[in-house]
Structure 1
Amino acid sequence: QAPLYDLALANGLLMATLNQTKLSLLTRLRGDRGQRGTRRTLHYYFVAQDIHERASSSHIQYQTLREHFRHSDVLFRFQRLMSMQGQACQQLSRCILLRQPYQHDPHFERAFTHIDAALER
């Protein structure tokens, strides 16, 4: 139960941060009459919000899924991919802040190949 509690706390902090970010962006949007940079940042906010909503939704019975893939590395591979995606999001945010071009990690292709192979077994 401790991991679920920790996850709930982290989710609460993330939600508070997202809400504060939205308020700041909307206030800034009113103040600078929709400057391009603010509009672009607001777009990034909505992307982050969408990712969070999709990641935190629980449309699947995870216990059943775990039982089904008990002798497979599918769940491990998905966990690895989600971790890589989180790191990519952090890298993208750094690139946005520093106004540098973002280079997508070429290891994603290999991760998807491994997931496909695990699903076919």
Structure 2
Amino acid sequence: MAEEDQTVLVRCEDLVRVELPALLAQRAGRVAAALEAGERVVELPRGVSGKGLATAAAYYEARAEAEACGVDGGEFDGEFVRGLTHDAAIDLIHAAHHLGDQALFNLFAGYRANHF
């Protein structure tokens, strides 16, 4: 199987499962470590909701598509964060933290200052 075709299954405590392309998921430290160990299933700890995980997956896929079309990553990130409801942002912050994706977590630095 070609590397770009490989996927990883990420599961959270509320039993939601999201299958992500391995190349996109590798930016999350917890997923990258699992892939390096040869695992194809990553269990997330308590505190990560299926909604947060699904939002993270949507972000990874949409950002990859935007970059492929030449869209500036910073502009994309700003629009993505502005488009989230407060609850969705909280869910995504928890998911980013537990996925070990510091870049995704850092998207909220300005959001947190303005909304919490």
Shorter-normalised TM-score: what interval? 0.3 to 0.5
Q: Which has the higher contact order (CA 8 A, sep 6+)?
A: 2
Q: Rg bigger for which structure? A: 1
Return the structure number with greater helix share. Answer: 1
Return the structure number with greater strand share. Answer: 2
